[in-house]
Amino acid sequence: MKAFVFPGQGAQFTGMGKELYENEALAHDLFERANDILGWRISDVMFEGSAEDLKQTKVTQPAIFIHSVVLAKCLSECSPESEFRKKAAEAGISGFNPDMVAGHSLGEFSALTAAGALSFEEGLKLVAKRAFAMQKACEIKPSTMAAVLKLEDKVIEDACAEISSKGDAGVVVAANYNSHGQVVISGDIDAVAAAGALLKEKGGRVVPLQVGGAFHSPLMDPARVELAEAIEKAVIVKPVCPVYQNVDALPHTDPEEIKKNLLIQLTNPVKWSYIVEKMVADGADEFIELGPGAVLQGLAKKLAPAETKITGIQ
Protein backbone atom coordinates (compact mmCIF):
# COMPACT_ATOMS: atom_id res chain seq x y z
CA MET A 1 0.00 0.00 0.00
CA LYS A 2 1.21 3.47 -0.89
CA ALA A 3 1.54 6.26 1.68
CA PHE A 4 2.11 9.72 0.22
CA VAL A 5 3.62 12.15 2.74
CA PHE A 6 4.07 15.92 2.62
CA PRO A 7 6.79 18.00 4.35
CA GLY A 8 6.39 20.93 6.71
CA GLN A 9 8.18 24.17 7.43
CA GLY A 10 11.96 24.03 7.05
CA ALA A 11 12.05 22.09 3.77
CA GLN A 12 12.03 25.20 1.56
CA PHE A 13 14.88 26.19 -0.77
CA THR A 14 15.48 28.89 -3.37
CA GLY A 15 14.30 27.70 -6.78
CA MET A 16 11.67 25.32 -5.41
CA GLY A 17 9.10 24.51 -8.09
CA LYS A 18 10.82 26.54 -10.81
CA GLU A 19 11.51 23.57 -13.09
CA LEU A 20 7.87 22.49 -12.83
CA TYR A 21 6.67 26.02 -13.61
CA GLU A 22 8.86 26.29 -16.69
CA ASN A 23 8.22 22.83 -18.13
CA GLU A 24 4.63 21.82 -17.27
CA ALA A 25 1.63 23.87 -18.40
CA LEU A 26 -0.51 22.58 -15.55
CA ALA A 27 2.13 23.62 -12.98
CA HIS A 28 2.49 27.03 -14.63
CA ASP A 29 -1.27 27.59 -14.39
CA LEU A 30 -1.42 26.47 -10.75
CA PHE A 31 1.44 28.74 -9.72
CA GLU A 32 -0.27 31.68 -11.43
CA ARG A 33 -3.55 30.78 -9.73
CA ALA A 34 -1.72 30.79 -6.41
CA ASN A 35 -0.32 34.25 -7.13
CA ASP A 36 -3.84 35.50 -7.89
CA ILE A 37 -5.34 33.89 -4.77
CA LEU A 38 -2.69 35.40 -2.50
CA GLY A 39 -2.65 38.77 -4.24
CA TRP A 40 1.13 38.81 -4.62
CA ARG A 41 3.68 36.85 -6.64
CA ILE A 42 4.85 34.17 -4.26
CA SER A 43 6.28 32.28 -7.25
CA ASP A 44 8.91 35.03 -7.69
CA VAL A 45 10.05 34.56 -4.08
CA MET A 46 10.07 30.78 -4.44
CA PHE A 47 12.15 30.88 -7.63
CA GLU A 48 14.49 33.81 -6.93
CA GLY A 49 14.15 34.82 -3.27
CA SER A 50 16.95 34.52 -0.73
CA ALA A 51 17.00 31.93 2.04
CA GLU A 52 16.09 34.76 4.42
CA ASP A 53 13.08 35.70 2.27
CA LEU A 54 11.87 32.13 2.22
CA LYS A 55 12.33 31.68 5.98
CA GLN A 56 9.50 34.08 6.84
CA THR A 57 6.57 31.99 8.08
CA LYS A 58 4.09 33.95 5.94
CA VAL A 59 6.13 32.92 2.86
CA THR A 60 7.40 29.51 3.87
CA GLN A 61 4.09 27.85 4.61
CA PRO A 62 2.19 28.76 1.42
CA ALA A 63 5.33 28.14 -0.67
CA ILE A 64 5.75 24.57 0.59
CA PHE A 65 2.01 23.94 0.29
CA ILE A 66 1.95 25.13 -3.33
CA HIS A 67 5.03 23.09 -4.30
CA SER A 68 3.69 19.91 -2.69
CA VAL A 69 0.17 20.16 -4.11
CA VAL A 70 1.41 21.03 -7.61
CA LEU A 71 3.55 17.89 -7.54
CA ALA A 72 0.52 15.77 -6.63
CA LYS A 73 -1.60 17.44 -9.32
CA CYS A 74 1.08 16.89 -11.96
CA LEU A 75 1.48 13.24 -11.00
CA SER A 76 -2.26 12.85 -11.33
CA GLU A 77 -3.00 14.92 -14.44
CA CYS A 78 0.14 15.48 -16.54
CA SER A 79 0.76 13.20 -19.50
CA PRO A 80 2.85 10.10 -18.75
CA GLU A 81 5.00 11.29 -21.67
CA SER A 82 5.82 14.63 -20.02
CA GLU A 83 9.35 15.21 -18.77
CA PHE A 84 8.12 15.44 -15.18
CA ARG A 85 6.23 12.15 -15.32
CA LYS A 86 9.25 10.47 -16.94
CA LYS A 87 11.42 11.77 -14.10
CA ALA A 88 8.90 10.46 -11.59
CA ALA A 89 8.82 7.06 -13.32
CA GLU A 90 12.61 6.87 -13.06
CA ALA A 91 12.19 7.33 -9.30
CA GLY A 92 9.62 4.52 -9.29
CA ILE A 93 6.59 6.82 -8.91
CA SER A 94 3.84 5.87 -11.37
CA GLY A 95 1.32 8.58 -10.46
CA PHE A 96 -0.65 9.97 -7.55
CA ASN A 97 -2.53 6.91 -6.37
CA PRO A 98 -2.50 6.97 -2.57
CA ASP A 99 -3.95 4.39 -0.19
CA MET A 100 -3.25 6.82 2.65
CA VAL A 101 -1.71 10.28 3.11
CA ALA A 102 -0.20 12.37 5.90
CA GLY A 103 1.65 15.65 6.27
CA HIS A 104 4.06 16.98 8.87
CA SER A 105 2.50 20.04 10.55
CA LEU A 106 1.83 22.45 7.64
CA GLY A 107 2.08 19.40 5.35
CA GLU A 108 -1.24 18.17 6.72
CA PHE A 109 -2.96 20.87 4.66
CA SER A 110 -1.03 19.70 1.58
CA ALA A 111 -2.09 16.11 2.26
CA LEU A 112 -5.74 17.07 2.67
CA THR A 113 -5.71 19.11 -0.54
CA ALA A 114 -3.91 16.43 -2.55
CA ALA A 115 -6.44 13.87 -1.28
CA GLY A 116 -9.38 16.04 -2.37
CA ALA A 117 -10.68 17.06 1.08
CA LEU A 118 -9.86 20.71 0.30
CA SER A 119 -9.85 22.55 -3.02
CA PHE A 120 -6.57 24.15 -4.09
CA GLU A 121 -7.97 27.63 -3.44
CA GLU A 122 -9.52 26.75 -0.08
CA GLY A 123 -6.36 24.96 1.08
CA LEU A 124 -4.09 27.84 0.06
CA LYS A 125 -6.30 30.45 1.72
CA LEU A 126 -6.30 28.46 4.96
CA VAL A 127 -2.52 28.00 4.84
CA ALA A 128 -1.99 31.71 4.22
CA LYS A 129 -4.25 32.62 7.16
CA ARG A 130 -2.50 30.04 9.34
CA ALA A 131 0.91 31.42 8.41
CA PHE A 132 -0.02 35.04 9.18
CA ALA A 133 -1.71 34.02 12.44
CA MET A 134 1.34 32.03 13.55
CA GLN A 135 3.70 34.86 12.62
CA LYS A 136 1.60 37.29 14.67
CA ALA A 137 1.65 34.88 17.63
CA CYS A 138 5.44 34.69 17.34
CA GLU A 139 5.66 38.48 17.49
CA ILE A 140 3.51 38.69 20.65
CA LYS A 141 6.13 36.92 22.74
CA PRO A 142 9.68 35.80 21.85
CA SER A 143 9.88 32.01 21.78
CA THR A 144 11.87 29.22 20.19
CA MET A 145 12.39 25.49 19.56
CA ALA A 146 15.24 22.98 19.93
CA ALA A 147 15.81 19.44 18.72
CA VAL A 148 16.67 16.85 21.37
CA LEU A 149 18.53 13.72 20.30
CA LYS A 150 19.48 10.41 21.92
CA LEU A 151 16.83 10.36 24.67
CA GLU A 152 13.56 8.51 25.18
CA ASP A 153 10.32 10.45 24.66
CA LYS A 154 9.33 10.06 28.33
CA VAL A 155 12.61 11.54 29.57
CA ILE A 156 12.07 14.60 27.38
CA GLU A 157 8.43 14.96 28.42
CA ASP A 158 9.34 14.75 32.11
CA ALA A 159 12.08 17.37 31.76
CA CYS A 160 9.70 19.78 30.01
CA ALA A 161 7.07 19.22 32.71
CA GLU A 162 9.63 19.85 35.46
CA ILE A 163 10.78 23.17 33.96
CA SER A 164 7.24 24.31 33.17
CA SER A 165 6.00 23.49 36.68
CA LYS A 166 8.53 25.90 38.23
CA GLY A 167 6.92 28.77 36.36
CA ASP A 168 9.83 31.21 36.51
CA ALA A 169 11.26 30.32 33.07
CA GLY A 170 7.92 29.95 31.30
CA VAL A 171 6.46 27.02 29.37
CA VAL A 172 8.21 24.31 27.36
CA VAL A 173 6.64 21.21 25.78
CA ALA A 174 7.50 18.35 23.46
CA ALA A 175 6.26 19.62 20.09
CA ASN A 176 7.43 17.28 17.31
CA TYR A 177 7.90 13.53 17.77
CA ASN A 178 9.94 13.07 14.60
CA SER A 179 11.48 9.67 15.27
CA HIS A 180 12.60 7.65 18.25
CA GLY A 181 15.50 9.59 19.73
CA GLN A 182 14.58 12.82 17.92
CA VAL A 183 12.03 15.10 19.56
CA VAL A 184 11.68 18.87 19.15
CA ILE A 185 10.83 20.94 22.23
CA SER A 186 9.06 24.29 21.99
CA GLY A 187 8.24 27.22 24.26
CA ASP A 188 9.51 30.35 25.97
CA ILE A 189 13.17 31.10 25.26
CA ASP A 190 14.30 30.73 28.90
CA ALA A 191 12.24 27.56 29.39
CA VAL A 192 13.65 25.90 26.26
CA ALA A 193 17.18 26.80 27.42
CA ALA A 194 16.53 25.42 30.90
CA ALA A 195 15.01 22.20 29.56
CA GLY A 196 17.92 21.88 27.14
CA ALA A 197 20.44 22.18 29.96
CA LEU A 198 18.58 19.55 32.00
CA LEU A 199 18.38 17.17 29.04
CA LYS A 200 22.11 17.56 28.35
CA GLU A 201 22.72 16.45 31.95
CA LYS A 202 20.66 13.36 31.18
CA GLY A 203 22.87 12.50 28.20
CA GLY A 204 20.93 14.13 25.40
CA ARG A 205 22.20 16.27 22.56
CA VAL A 206 20.35 19.56 22.16
CA VAL A 207 20.38 21.56 18.91
CA PRO A 208 18.72 25.03 18.90
CA LEU A 209 16.56 25.57 15.82
CA GLN A 210 16.48 28.76 13.76
CA VAL A 211 12.71 29.25 13.80
CA GLY A 212 10.46 32.23 14.32
CA GLY A 213 8.64 30.95 17.39
CA ALA A 214 7.29 28.16 19.55
CA PHE A 215 5.21 26.18 17.07
CA HIS A 216 2.92 23.41 18.40
CA SER A 217 2.99 24.81 21.92
CA PRO A 218 0.52 26.74 24.11
CA LEU A 219 2.19 29.95 22.88
CA MET A 220 0.39 29.42 19.56
CA ASP A 221 -3.02 29.82 21.22
CA PRO A 222 -3.55 33.35 19.76
CA ALA A 223 -3.11 31.80 16.29
CA ARG A 224 -5.55 29.01 17.12
CA VAL A 225 -8.18 31.54 18.15
CA GLU A 226 -7.62 33.60 15.00
CA LEU A 227 -7.78 30.56 12.72
CA ALA A 228 -10.84 28.97 14.34
CA GLU A 229 -13.45 30.84 12.30
CA ALA A 230 -11.65 30.24 9.00
CA ILE A 231 -11.39 26.49 9.60
CA GLU A 232 -15.01 26.29 10.73
CA LYS A 233 -16.19 28.02 7.54
CA ALA A 234 -13.91 26.02 5.25
CA VAL A 235 -15.51 23.55 2.85
CA ILE A 236 -13.96 20.20 3.70
CA VAL A 237 -15.28 17.02 2.09
CA LYS A 238 -14.46 13.34 2.48
CA PRO A 239 -10.95 12.67 1.08
CA VAL A 240 -10.26 9.94 -1.46
CA CYS A 241 -8.28 8.02 1.16
CA PRO A 242 -7.64 8.21 4.92
CA VAL A 243 -5.61 11.17 6.17
CA TYR A 244 -3.46 10.35 9.21
CA GLN A 245 -3.60 13.50 11.32
CA ASN A 246 -0.88 14.98 13.50
CA VAL A 247 -2.77 15.24 16.77
CA ASP A 248 -3.66 11.57 17.23
CA ALA A 249 -1.71 9.69 14.49
CA LEU A 250 -4.96 8.05 13.39
CA PRO A 251 -6.65 7.84 9.97
CA HIS A 252 -9.57 10.21 9.37
CA THR A 253 -12.11 10.68 6.58
CA ASP A 254 -14.92 12.48 8.42
CA PRO A 255 -14.85 16.22 7.55
CA GLU A 256 -15.91 17.35 11.03
CA GLU A 257 -13.21 15.27 12.71
CA ILE A 258 -10.66 16.64 10.24
CA LYS A 259 -11.67 20.23 11.04
CA LYS A 260 -11.43 19.67 14.78
CA ASN A 261 -7.98 18.11 14.49
CA LEU A 262 -6.71 20.84 12.15
CA LEU A 263 -7.55 23.50 14.70
CA ILE A 264 -6.05 21.87 17.78
CA GLN A 265 -2.95 20.93 15.76
CA LEU A 266 -1.54 24.44 16.27
CA THR A 267 -1.12 24.02 20.02
CA ASN A 268 -0.54 20.26 20.16
CA PRO A 269 2.45 18.10 19.23
CA VAL A 270 3.08 16.57 15.81
CA LYS A 271 3.09 12.81 16.39
CA TRP A 272 5.03 11.97 13.25
CA SER A 273 6.85 8.87 14.48
CA TYR A 274 3.51 7.42 15.59
CA ILE A 275 1.93 8.29 12.22
CA VAL A 276 4.58 6.40 10.25
CA GLU A 277 4.34 3.37 12.55
CA LYS A 278 0.53 3.39 12.35
CA MET A 279 0.67 3.58 8.55
CA VAL A 280 3.03 0.61 8.49
CA ALA A 281 0.73 -1.30 10.86
CA ASP A 282 -2.16 -0.52 8.52
CA GLY A 283 -0.33 -1.96 5.52
CA ALA A 284 1.92 0.77 4.10
CA ASP A 285 4.93 -0.78 2.38
CA GLU A 286 5.85 2.26 0.27
CA PHE A 287 6.37 5.89 1.32
CA ILE A 288 6.51 8.65 -1.29
CA GLU A 289 7.40 12.20 -0.24
CA LEU A 290 6.01 15.03 -2.37
CA GLY A 291 7.52 18.48 -1.79
CA PRO A 292 10.82 20.23 -1.23
CA GLY A 293 13.59 18.39 0.58
CA ALA A 294 13.83 14.78 1.72
CA VAL A 295 13.39 15.06 5.49
CA LEU A 296 10.40 12.74 5.67
CA GLN A 297 12.19 10.10 3.60
CA GLY A 298 15.00 10.14 6.15
CA LEU A 299 12.57 9.75 9.04
CA ALA A 300 10.70 6.94 7.27
CA LYS A 301 13.98 5.05 6.88
CA LYS A 302 14.43 5.20 10.65
CA LEU A 303 10.87 4.18 11.48
CA ALA A 304 9.68 1.76 8.80
CA PRO A 305 10.88 -1.82 8.23
CA ALA A 306 14.08 -2.15 6.19
CA GLU A 307 12.26 -3.64 3.20
CA THR A 308 9.91 -0.63 2.87
CA LYS A 309 10.24 1.26 -0.41
CA ILE A 310 10.96 4.92 0.30
CA THR A 311 11.25 7.58 -2.39
CA GLY A 312 10.19 11.10 -3.29
CA ILE A 313 10.24 13.81 -5.91
CA GLN A 314 10.61 17.57 -5.88
Q: Which of 67, 164, 179, 216 is catalytic?
A: 216
Q: How many domains does the chain have?
A: 2
Q: Could you say which of 162, 177, 212 is where a domain stops?
A: 212
pLDDT in tens, 150-198: 999 999 999 999 999 998 899 999 999 999 999 999 999 999 999 999 9
Q: Clarify whether residues 19 and 114 are in a common domain.
A: yes
pLDDT in tens, 197-225: 999 999 999 999 878 789 999 999 999 99
Q: Could you say which of 159, 184, 212 is where a domain stops?
A: 212
Q: Which pTM value belongs to this model?
A: 0.95
105 is annotated as an active-site residue: yes
Per-residue DSSP letters for the chain?
A: -EEEEE--TT---TTTTHHHHHH-HHHHHHHHHHHHHHTS-HHHHHHH--HHHHHSHHHHHHHHHHHHHHHHHHHHHS-TTSHHHHHHHHTT--S---SEEEESTTHHHHHHHHTTSS-HHHHHHHHHHHHHHHHHHHHHS-EEEEEEESS-HHHHHHHHHHHHHH-SS--EEEEEEEETTEEEEEEEHHHHHHHHHHHHHTT-EEEEE--SS-TTSGGGHHHHHHHHHHHHHS-----SS-EE-TTT--EE--HHHHHHHHHHHTTS-B-HHHHHHHHHHTT--EEEEESSSSHHHHHHHHHS-TT-EEEEE-
CA angle in degrees (0–180, nearest 5) for 251-132-30 = 70
Q: Clarify whether residues 129 and 56 are in a common domain.
A: yes
Q: Clarify whether residues 201 and 72 are in a common domain.
A: no
pLDDT in tens, 27-59: 999 999 999 999 999 999 999 999 888 888 889
Q: Which of 105, 186, 217, 273 is catalytic?
A: 105
Say which CATH number the domain at 86 has: 3.40.366.10
pLDDT of residue 56: 85
pLDDT of residue 48: 95
Q: Clarify whether residues 228 and 105 are in a common domain.
A: yes
Identity of the amino acid at 98: P
Say which CATH number the domain at 185 has: 3.30.70.250
Q: Clarify whether residues 291 and 148 are in a common domain.
A: no
Enumerate residues 6+ apart whose C-beta is below 8 A from 19: none
Q: Could you say which of 187, 212, 237 is where a domain stops?
A: 212
Which residues are registered as beta bridge partners of 172? 187
180 is annotated as an active-site residue: no
Q: Clarify whether residues 170 and 227 are in a common domain.
A: no
pLDDT at residue 232 greater than cutoff 80:
yes
pLDDT of residue 140: 87
